[in-house]
Structure 1
Amino acid sequence: MDKGISKTPFGSIDSLKLTFNHIKVWYTSGMGFFTDAYDLFIISAILDVLLQLHDPNFPLNSVTEGLLASSALWAAIIGQLVFGFLGDKIGRKAIYGVEAILMTVGALLSALSPNIYWLIIFRSIMGLGIGGDYPISATIMSEYANVKDRGKLIALVFANQGLGSLAAVSVGIGSVLAFPLDISWRVMAAIGAIPAATVIYLRRKTPETPRYSMLVKGNVQEAKKAAEFLGAKIEEKRAYSKPLSLSEFLSKYWLILIGTAVPWFILDIAFYGTGIYSGAITQLILGKPTSIANLILEQGLPYMVGFFGYFTAVALMDKLGRKIIQLQGFILMTIIYAVVSSFLIVSGTKVVGLTIPAGIGFLIYALSFFFIDFGPNTTTFILPAEAYPTRARTTGHGISAASGKLGAAITTYLFPSLLASMGIKNILLMLSALSLVGAIVTIIAVKETKGKSLEEISKEEVIVQEEQFST
């Protein structure tokens, strides 16, 4: 048995085999990320429809298009920071479900928007919920998981993004084929409320995690009850985690914070920039589609390739480890973006031809989505859920996730202007260089976490009765 498992009060939880209730926690946590990915793709389909509608209530220019595409992301930054702070301050359970309510209400109101300004506001409400979901769901899964399967379980929570993106492609195509355009985009927006709505009740009923109950609240009975939810037992010994001031936290965890926040910032610049505007990029490679349904399909194809990356990460997370998977992902992103840029023939900022067949070029570009998902897109979600002590876990995750969404919001807002001023060739070269920086930061600032208890990873000081263990 790992020494980290035996030295904390949570050895029985850490050494558990996978149980049905682990899967229940996974589903309860994962539906928020289904919604997150659905939203990422569906807004690009909504933009496609609005651009064709020319509705005077929904005018699109470089400013309104950028705001509509990025509004949920800017709001998500606030949600990640606020919910991250509250998750450590008042508990995971106290606020679990609130973010799902915000996602549900925001999606439904978006579908009813009378004009583009209300649509931006309602998507911001949804963004608050999406942001809040990151630190709370990741931490709940992390603190309930056994050591052997923890990486797999947290990765499975995040892999719901793969399912959400495929659902969005299907809903986007189905909506434009089944409804008039002025109705289709509203259907797309409304369906985003369904997955979040299904878990509101389950989230409100999820017990507080054993670690937070005991180490922060000092409630042994609540910790025992939460452990029994998994089929584990905790001895009736009072234990608590040594409090950390802000200065102590920064002094002890500054390098870890760089390792969890900076790669996520870099990753989301690439993922959201090429994701929301994948249609613009795929058109440059494959040519203009013959219908809006074909456009949605074309821009969804890279997500279909990326889908397999999520579950490759799930399968290998506890075998290869987080650091290796993140590093190889960044390295291959560096190579792929540079290669795709090299075969584009440009005149000014416009692509006028390719030096290789379009199908091969598109496949190479789509592979970037595979290695994003079988790489830093998954690992940057897992690492901050493991690297910080119980008293600062949702805060650390919230800061890291907010760093990522900041990169996403900046690139999403600026991408239309960058595409016009720099051209896709130079954008891809920029993404290649940034991915290389992500690989370097991973080497320097990321420590492997597989096979260790949360207390051992974070070097959390757990005081049990009169004994103090600094793992």
Structure 2
Amino acid sequence: MAGDQVHVLSALDGAKTQWYHFTAIIVAGMGFFTDAYDLFCISLVTKLIGRIYYTVPGSSRPGSLFFGWLGDKVGRKSVYGMTLMLMILCSVASGLSFGNTPTSVMATLCFFRFWLGFGIGGDYPLSATIMSEYANKRTRGAFIAAVFAMQGFGILAGGGVAIGITALFRDLFPAPPYAADPAASTPAQADYVWRIVLMLGALPAALTFYWRMKMPETARYTALIAKNAERAAADMSKVLQVEITKEQAGDLETVITIKSHTPPPSFGLFSGEFVRRHGLHLVGTASTWLLLDIAYYSQNLFQKDIFSAIGWIPPAPTMSALDELFHIARAQILIALCGTVPGYWFTVAFIDSVGRFKIQLMGFFMMTTFMVGLAVPYDYWTGQGHQAGFVVMYALTFFFANFGPNATTFIVPAEIYPARLRATCHGISAASGKVGAIIGSFGFLYLAQSPDPAKTAHGYHPGIGVRYSLLVLAGCSLMGFLLTFLVPEPKGKSLEEMSRETEPDH
């Protein structure tokens, strides 16, 4: 009977790659485009608007939990539009932050960025779950990875917009360097720059809102949770051009009716049966995502310091505020082009042949190796004439983060849990990652400060320095490598096979 139950869903697993799959990648990926654009741009303009970047990881954590749980309760489609609309509105509102004083402007901006992060957090479990439930099992990993890889385009777009807007305002409103005139080095018109940059991030997401609303509910949710086989078969036939006969739909409808009296596994998230089947898996997906984000977000935050140390960005006193933004954006785009974006697409290309498990192990191992390679001879790398080697090592760290755990920690939780708990468990794993982002963001700001009190940034206590902080991050990556052994390999298996959805309770 279990075989009959998945008869219709096996047609989905065996479906050929359709144009609709690529449409779904773009529609689902626009949330990640907006996410990456926003995080990238806000880190660029921190010198203009203060360190408000760190409100996002904290607000995306409850967003992952809430929208993940809601997606399992009322359906993926019902919640999917809410997250995108929240992101669009709050992106625009962030740029329109108002007030008569700097404090009120910052308070308004932080308020809208909190809700922006809430929507971003909700998009993680829903996009991953929807793509996994639409995809066939042969190319499921590549499709989910492609959704996640839209972050790369968001990073490049954010950098390009920041450079273009900044270059325009520099030409229209030239300003002296800070050393020459501190007040005049930040022209009044710079206030428009960060607002325009933030608001433009909402445009691609707004353009895809209609298509997100047109997406039908996933067949797996409709069949296995809503228990409407006829609707599931109709949706599959319409969007994926899969031929589902009335007899096949009837078979599933009959099985669902019978199963309503003798239901398939119905254990909850906090049950002993869930712990027996998936407890270690949840520990593995949550802990590896947490450790990955500690290392990943920490590196993102001290990019500006590294670029300054190796001479890619001139000393701050020699630049105006807009000059500084321009140089930082240009340097970060180079790192993205050399390491971040290629890493995403290497994952898309190889994940269904190499497998998630091996890619994640390799990524954590290489991150550990390169961080140690950066940290031990840190004085050598930052010395005159060795900057090129440092940039290569730093870019490779990002390459193997993205051709590694940054992608796989997002993909695997959407494949290994039962349909009725899939978005919830993905949300828990994503929320764990955002805890790691908070630790990496705040912790590293303090940890990476110079041990010499005279060299620490204003308002910070002495830390252990960048060199030893890199060693700490290498330790986090090594722990992620070890905890990967708790995560199963979903390559080539159906979602029902991985989640053991058709096995009876014990």
8 A contact 1:323–1:448 mirrored in 2 = yes
Question: Cα offset for 1:22?
Answer: 1.0
Query: Are residues 1:401 and 2:391 paired?
Result: no
8 A contact 2:155–2:336 mirrored in 1 = yes
**Which structure 2 residues correspond to residues 211-230 of structure 1 after superposition, within 5 A?**
211-228=220-237, 229-230=239-240
Matched residue, 1:181: 190
Distance between the aligned counterparts of 1:144 and 1:103, measured in 2?
24
8 A contact 1:92–1:136 mirrored in 2 = yes
Query: Are residues 1:172 and 2:187 paired?
Result: no
One-letter code of the match for 1:43? I
Partner deviation per Cα, 1:257-293 (whole Å, 9 max, x = no partner): 0121111101111111211432122222335436321
Distance between the aligned counterparts of 1:208 and 1:459, measured in 2?
22
Distance between the aligned counterparts of 2:419 and 2:284, measured in 1?
18
Partner deviation per Cα, 1:219-249 (whole Å, 9 max, x = no partner): 1222112211211225222236532222132
Question: Cα offset for 1:199?
Answer: 2.1
Please give the secondary structure, in 2, of the residue aligned with 1:345: helix
Identity %: 41
Distance between the aligned counterparts of 2:28 and 2:227, measured in 1?
25
Distance between the aligned counterparts of 2:467 and 2:409, measured in 1?
27
8 A contact 1:344–1:355 mirrored in 2 = no
Please give the secondary structure, in 1, of the residue aligned with 2:54: helix
Matched residue, 1:243: 266
Query: Are residues 1:343 and 2:377 paired?
Result: yes
Distance between the aligned counterparts of 2:386 and 2:147, measured in 1?
37
Distance between the aligned counterparts of 2:422 and 2:4, measured in 1?
19
Distance between the aligned counterparts of 1:364 and 1:280, measured in 2?
16
Question: Cα offset for 1:4?
Answer: 8.8
Given candidates 311, 334, 353, the residue that maps to 1:319 is: 353
8 A contact 1:274–1:281 mirrored in 2 = no
Matched residue, 2:487: 446
Distance between the aligned counterparts of 2:384 and 2:483, measured in 1?
33
Q: Give the 3 Å change call, closer, same or farther, for CA 452–4 of structure 1 in structure 2.
A: farther
Distance between the aligned counterparts of 2:3 and 2:301, measured in 1?
42
8 A contact 2:59–2:117 mirrored in 1 = yes
Matched residue, 1:203: 212
Matched residue, 2:146: 156
Structure 1 residues without counterparts, runs of 5 or longer: 51-59, 463-467
Distance between the aligned counterparts of 2:89 and 2:217, measured in 1?
25
Question: Cα offset for 1:8?
Answer: 4.5
One-letter code of the match for 1:458? S
**Which structure 2 residues correspond to residues 460-471 of structure 1 after superposition, within 5 A?**
460-461=501-502
Matched residue, 2:406: 377
One-letter code of the match for 1:362? V
Distance between the aligned counterparts of 2:384 and 2:501, measured in 1?
55
Given candidates 337, 344, 347, the residue that maps to 1:310 is: 344
One-letter code of the match for 2:72? D
Distance between the aligned counterparts of 1:8 and 1:418, measured in 2?
55
Partner deviation per Cα, 1:343-368 (whole Å, 9 max, x = no partner): 2229xxxx9x4386111111111111
Question: Cα offset for 1:423?
Answer: 1.4
Matched residue, 1:72: 56
One-letter code of the match for 1:378? A
Query: Are residues 1:138 and 2:122 paired?
Result: no
Matched residue, 1:434: 476
Question: Cα offset for 1:5?
Answer: 11
Matched residue, 1:32: 31
Q: Which moved more, 1:201-210 or 1:312-321?
A: 201-210
One-letter code of the match for 2:328? L
Query: Are residues 1:298 and 2:331 paired?
Result: yes
8 A contact 1:73–1:405 mirrored in 2 = yes
Structure 2 residues without counterparts, runs of 5 or longer: 99-104, 170-188, 450-462
8 A contact 2:92–2:199 mirrored in 1 = yes
After superposing on structure 2, the runs of 4+ consecutive aligned residues of structure 1 that deviate more than 3 Å are 3-9
Query: Are residues 1:95 and 2:105 paired?
Result: no
Please give the secondary structure, in 2, of the residue aligned with 1:354: coil
Question: Cα offset for 1:456?
Answer: 0.6
Q: Which moved more, 1:332-341 or 1:299-308?
A: 299-308
Partner deviation per Cα, 1:73-97 (whole Å, 9 max, x = no partner): 1111011000010111111111111
8 A contact 1:151–1:382 mirrored in 2 = yes
- Give the aligned length: 441
Query: TM-score, normalised to structure 1's length?
Result: 0.90
Distance between the aligned counterparts of 1:392 and 1:136, measured in 2?
12
Distance between the aligned counterparts of 2:148 and 2:33, measured in 1?
8
- Note the aligned Cα RMSD (angstroms): 2.0
Question: Cα offset for 1:308?
Answer: 0.5
Distance between the aligned counterparts of 2:34 and 2:6, measured in 1?
38
8 A contact 1:343–1:355 mirrored in 2 = no
Distance between the aligned counterparts of 1:226 and 1:127, measured in 2?
32
One-letter code of the match for 2:418? P
**Which structure 2 residues correspond to residues 40-51 of structure 1 after superposition, within 5 A?**
40-50=39-49
